[in-house]
Amino acid sequence: MGRYIFGRIGYMLITFFVIATFTFFLMQTLPGSPFNDERLSETQKERLYERYGLDEPVPIQYVKYMTNIFKGDFGVSFQYDGRAVSDIIGERIGASVVLGAQSLIFGCIIGLILGIIAAIKHNTAIDYVAMVIAVIGLSVPNFVFAGLLQYWVGVKLQWLPVAFWEGFEYSILPTISLSVFVIATIARFIRTEMLEVLGQDYIVTAKAKGLNQFAIVMKHGIRNAAIPIITILGPMTVSLLTGTLVIEQIFSVPGLGEQFVKSIMTNDFPVIMGVTLFYSILFIGVVLIVDILYGVIDPRIRLSGGTK
Amino acid sequence: MDKILDVKNLQVSFDTYAGEVKAVRGVSFHLNKGETLAIVGESGSGKSVTSKSLMKLIPNPPGRITGGEIIFEGKNLVNYTEKQMQKIRGSDISMIFQDPMTSLNPTMTVGKQIMESIIKHQKLPKKQAKEKAIELLEMVGIINAHKRLTAYPHQFSGGMRQRVVIAMAISCNPKVLIADEPTTALDVTIQAQILELLKNLQKKMGTSIIFITHDLGVVANIADRVAVMYAGKIVEIGKVDEIFYNPQHPYTWGLLGAMPNLNEDAEELITIPGSPPNLLNPPIGDAFANRNKYAMKIDYQIEPPMFKVSDTHYAATWLLHEKSPKVLPPDALKKHRQVHSKERKKERLSKKRVKREKLLEIKNLKQYFSSGSNVVKAVDGISFEIFKGETFGLVGESGCGKSTTGRTIIRLYHATEGEVLYNNVNIHDKKSSSESQKLNQKIQMIFQDPYSSLNPRQTVADIIAEGMDIHGLAAGKKERLEKVYELLETVGLNREHANRYPHEFSGGQRQRIGIARALAVEPEFIIADEPISALDVSIQAQVVNLMKKLQKEKGLTYLFIAHDLSMVKYISDRIGVMYKGRIVELAESEELYQNPLHPYTRSLLSAIPLPDPETEKTRKRVKFDEKFVWNGNGEEPVLREVKEGHWVSCTEQEFHDYKKHFDAI
């Protein structure tokens, strides 16, 4: 197992290197410059270029940048005058992570329940209702839900705050809006998987032992049905973290997504690069975790081997 | 004797879009305490549905019990609620399923799976349940039980898994054990072990067993009484000797005749023509009538009742009515058929010695598969020859490399080492595309699974003609169609079938289509990879007879790959026995069965259950332990010719022993 993870980390480094290189050269092709302010004179601009090392030829910039990131230095921001990129990310990441994690957990639990109920009550009214909910969740964009929640729960009923980030109750509405997509995806997936698992021979075996439906689903069903779910969990986690940007805007949450949009507007290369690389590390890390999780849930692909 | 279970007029239906399928149509039987009742029948006869209904395990919807009674210890289970059934399942009545590969939960340790029903029914605390589970595992013959308790199903072999399933089923000392084809998915030697285990457990615990199977050999081995099912009904029921030695129903005759007997050598197997009726609209009268050559007018009008043959033996056929003409069962069923078949044997032997033209020669063929650092030696240096016009049988248990050999010969795999000479040309040499196309035309393949080997989106005509198109064998559309018609008729299908799609055919018919496809390009050599193992006994006989007939007519040469030794013996002229990627013994089929030398061949032969209860009662199984065989003081065993045409893998010392053995005769 240790060897396996070690190898995987090696691959992760290579992947990371490729992504860093690719984004770096992509940045070079972006039109415009970070210092496009009309108030700046030519000499001022030149001095700024010099200060941030932008006057040097591209290959040299590249080598410098790459050596710096492997030292853990992502450079300094252009728009915030010399603030380290890692500081900016660190400051903003908290809200995004809390929001993403809450939506994922909430979405998975509700989605799981909905999907299992739909599978057990296959082809009944309950099943159809659950699936209609799922389809709505998939097809209606989350900012629509966000707006509706703000209007009804926030403004009309006055139950919860509609904006800002000052405590748990502030996170409830954005979490719900974000998790609608998760609920819908998980519910549909679990329903399909569960239906297949419930048709397997070992479920009949369990039934022949005299177990009741509840025990069968909980003990024999969920674990087997969850195996394929793990696959979509990885990309979903990342899309939650990156996908928070609209929701963050709507609820004025000071998260990373909001910062990302701002940086693109101002051609703040170091921050764009930094956030992109941060996301890719996250993604690669999640994929690794998912693969390890597979082994935990499904003993057949446990890599430690065992007696054959 | 006490009845433990009494089933009266049980009826089970399934609701489908097309209508109500009456899978079980009034089945009555009883089960005595401590006995084994075998229910035999072909697929779709309703035997599995019957057994599942006893525990009310048929999925509802679409299945439902529409009538009848299941009396267990004086109570009618048909009226039981789901809650009440849960108390019975696993404790009073339990079940063993067919496929041990799928009937265990892959994500749960076997210990937990065994403990589940103990905790549920006997209300034991976890620790005691665990001890009981270890005890059970030891009882079913799993070594190191306390360690294996925490293993997952995938860490066990097929036979071991079935032992675990059995341990699970007997965990609460059930009064009735239902075994639904428990050995069908297993190799013969493993099957023999499992059957022995079941018999021992029955002796120890006094359980009554309902044993569902389609294999009459297994029935003869294990059953006290037998019920033969056809089209959702029991057509004959009686003691095992009565069914095998005095069968009354023509369907039973057909089933018994369709099985080749290892000790005998009939020219043609008895087949049951046609296929079972569609139970969506069961026929009026006797459901077997239109496959029955003794059918009378009344068979098409009124269903026969159960006629009494003896106190324990009943059969549902009008032939037993006092006014019906006396019909004797076919000759082939009589025990004295051995006499005249001996002469035929001699004929066959002399016929073969005449012309011996080598068609295929395999020299030291090796096929390794590597995954990472793991190298699997699927085929590990085998050599043999196949002569023109003969059938060469390749037998062995799963994983021995027999299928890989077939696939390597036809170049589906790239051979690791060795040569395959076809008419003295090495198939595996680099060739121009026209040359290799010519070879492709001469060598064809028939596959095991007739369901997945035909493209479901193509019409039968296109499936058959595809090869002809590639090789340009048909001049125009008209000739192409003519040839397809001809081929369909050759394999016993109709012209009208040409425009249909594969799903409209039964398994046996599909295999005929597969054969027609192979024949379409006028091959010389056909590799048949387990062509009948997915088919029912009566259908198997049809396909085997067809293959024999085609060989005679077209002078084909077959490589017949199978695990069913009795069928292989029946069809093959010479047989090679494979074990772990090597051929351990090779001889003419009669010789191999009369004088098996290699310990593995002996154990294999001794494990085949024969459809003859008397020999089954006295059979002694030869156990094979590879440790004693492969340790010839470090000397690698080599294939040596012990007697003309009889090759055995042995060491120098063993070779001399074998020689002496023959000289002594």
Residues in chain A with CB shorter than 8 Å from the CB of B107 are: 223-224, 227, 297-299
Tokens of B120: 């549920």
d(CA A133, CA B561): 54
More confident residue, B328 or B2: B2
Query: Could you tell me whether strands B557-562 and B391-395 are parallel, antiparallel, or unpaired per DSSP bridges?
Result: parallel
Residue A116: the pLDDT is: 92
Q: How far apart, in Å, do the first and last CA atoms of chain B sit? A: 50
Query: Could you tell me whether strands B36-40 and B225-230 are parallel, antiparallel, or unpaired per DSSP bridges?
Result: parallel
**CATH level 2 (architecture), domain A92-254:** Orthogonal Bundle (1.10)
Residues in chain A with CB shorter than 8 Å from the CB of B117 are: 209-211
More confident residue, B265 or B486: B486
Taking an 8 Å cut-off on Cβ atoms, the answer to whether A208 and B55 are in contact is yes
CB-neighbour burial class of residue B522 (10 A; exposed 0-12, middle 13-18, buried 19+) = middle
Residues in chain A with CB shorter than 8 Å from the CB of B83 are: 212
Gap from A298 CA to chain B (nearest CA, Å): 6
More confident residue, B263 or B311: B311
Query: In sequence order, what are the beta bridge partners of B37?
Result: B210, B225
Closest chain B residue to the Cα of A124, Cα to Cα: B61
d(CA B40, CA B538): 13
Residues in chain B with CB shorter than 8 Å from the CB of A195 are: none
Closest chain A residue to the Cα of B53, Cα to Cα: A208
Averaged pLDDT of chain B? 86
Name the region of B34 (left: φ>0; alpha: ψ -120 to 50; beta: rest): left
Tell me, what's the ipTM? 0.79
Question: B370: helix, coil or strand?
Answer: strand
Residue B147 CA to its chain's centroid (Å) = 34
Rounded to 5°, the CA angle B178-B184-B190 comes to 100
Gap from B133 CA to chain A (nearest CA, Å): 14
Question: Quick one: average pLDDT of B80-105?
Answer: 91
Taking an 8 Å cut-off on Cβ atoms, the answer to whether A205 and B116 are in contact is no
Residue B518: the pLDDT is: 92
Name the region of B234 (left: φ>0; alpha: ψ -120 to 50; beta: rest): beta
Return the percentage of chain B with pLDDT > 70, whole number. 93
Taking an 8 Å cut-off on Cβ atoms, the answer to whether A208 and B88 are in contact is no
Residues in chain B with CB shorter than 8 Å from the CB of A305 are: none
Residue ranges covered by each domain of chain A? 92-254
Which pLDDT tens digit goes with each residue over A180-224? 989 999 999 999 999 999 989 999 999 999 999 899 998 899 889
Tokens of A167: 């405590």
Residue ranges covered by each domain of chain B? 359-368+398-562
The class level of CATH for B359-368+398-562 reads alpha beta
Query: In sequence order, what are the beta bridge partners of B588?
Result: B574
| Residue ranges in chain A whose pLDDT is less than 50 | 304-308
Residues in chain B with CB shorter than 8 Å from the CB of A212 are: 83, 86
Confidence of residue B336 (pLDDT cuts 50, 70, 90): very low
Which pLDDT tens digit goes with each residue over B193-218? 899 999 999 999 999 999 999 888 89
Question: Quick one: average pLDDT of B644-658?
Answer: 84
The upper half-sphere exposure of residue B141, i.e. CA atoms within 13 Å in the direction of its Cβ, equals 15
Confidence of residue B241 (pLDDT cuts 50, 70, 90): very high
Among B53, B116, B156, B172, which would you mutate to test the A interface (most chain A Cβ atoms within 10 Å of its Cβ)?
B116
Residues in chain A with CB shorter than 8 Å from the CB of B116 are: 206, 209, 211, 219
| Other CB atoms within 10 A of residue B106 CB | 17
Q: How many CB pairs under 8 A join A and B?
A: 81
CA distances from residue B35 to A23, B110, B222, B248, B663 in whole angstroms, order as listed:
76, 29, 10, 23, 47
d(CA A155, CA B403): 72
Among B56, B95, B103, which would you mutate to test the A interface (most chain A Cβ atoms within 10 Å of its Cβ)?
B103
Question: Residues of chain A whose C-beta is under 8 A from some C-beta in B?
Answer: 200-202, 204-212, 219-220, 223-224, 227, 297-300, 306-308
Residues in chain B with CB shorter than 8 Å from the CB of A303 are: none
Rounded to 5°, the CA angle B221-B227-B232 comes to 135
Residue B94: the pLDDT is: 94
Buried/exposed B459-495: b ≥16 CB within 10 Å, e otherwise: bbbbbbbebbeeeebbeeeeebeebbbebbebbbbee
Q: Tell whether the model's pLDDT for residue B632 goes beyond 60.
A: no
Residues in chain A with CB shorter than 8 Å from the CB of B120 are: 209-211
Gap from B81 CA to chain A (nearest CA, Å): 12
Taking an 8 Å cut-off on Cβ atoms, the answer to whether B105 and A308 are in contact is no
Contact yes or no for B96/B161 (Cβ under 8 A) = no
Residue B333: the pLDDT is: 63
Which pLDDT tens digit goes with each residue over B386-430? 999 999 999 988 888 899 999 999 888 888 889 899 988 888 887
Closest chain B residue to the Cα of A305, Cα to Cα: B155
Confidence of residue B331 (pLDDT cuts 50, 70, 90): low
CA distances from residue B330 to A187, B253, B262, B344 in whole angstroms, order as listed:
61, 7, 19, 19
C-alpha closest to that of B417 among B377, B360, B370, B365 = B365
One-letter amino acid for residue B297 of the chain: K
Taking an 8 Å cut-off on Cβ atoms, the answer to whether A300 and B106 are in contact is yes
DSSP character string of B98-135: S-TTTSS-TTS-HHHHHHHHIIIII---HHHHHHHHHH
Q: What's phi and psi for B361, nearest 5 deg? A: -130, 125
Residue B230: the pLDDT is: 92
Which pLDDT tens digit goes with each residue over B340-391? 444 445 545 544 555 678 899 999 999 998 876 778 888 988 999 999 999 9
Contact yes or no for B360/B525 (Cβ under 8 A) = yes
Which pLDDT tens digit goes with each residue over B530-575? 888 878 877 888 888 889 989 998 889 999 998 888 888 888 999 9
DSSP character string of B558-583: EEEEES-HHHHHHH-SEEEEEETTEE
Which residue among B89, B102, B121 places its CB closest to the CB of A202? B102
Among A194, A205, A218, A298, which would you mutate to test the B interface (most chain B Cβ atoms within 10 Å of its Cβ)?
A205
Residue B350: the pLDDT is: 47
CA distances from residue A37 to A33, A245, B158, B466 in whole angstroms, order as listed:
9, 27, 75, 72
Taking an 8 Å cut-off on Cβ atoms, the answer to whether A308 and B155 are in contact is yes
Taking an 8 Å cut-off on Cβ atoms, the answer to whether A205 and B105 are in contact is yes
Question: Residues of chain B whose C-beta is under 8 A from some C-beta in A?
Answer: 55, 57, 83, 85-91, 94-95, 97, 99, 102-108, 116-117, 120-121, 151-152, 154-155, 165, 168-169
Contact yes or no for B541/B258 (Cβ under 8 A) = yes
Tokens of B96: 């063993």
Residue B201: the pLDDT is: 92
Tokens of B416: 């690791």
Residue B513: the pLDDT is: 93
Question: Quick one: average pLDDT of B134-145?
Answer: 90
Gap from B172 CA to chain A (nearest CA, Å): 10
Q: Tell whether the model's pLDDT for residue B628 goes beyond 60.
A: no
Tokens of B637: 């065993």
Residues 6+ apart with CB under 8 A from A262: A79, A268
Contact yes or no for A86/A99 (Cβ under 8 A) = no
Residue B323: the pLDDT is: 80
Which pLDDT tens digit goes with each residue over B434-463? 888 888 889 999 988 888 899 999 999 999
Question: B76: helix, coil or strand?
Answer: strand
Contact yes or no for B155/B149 (Cβ under 8 A) = no
More confident residue, A79 or B482: B482
In the block, residue with structure tokens 């029991």:
B234
C-alpha closest to that of B398 among B163, B184, B571 = B184
**Which ranges constitute the DSSP H helices of B170-289?**
188-205, 216-222, 240-245, 250-258
Residues in chain A with CB shorter than 8 Å from the CB of B92 are: none
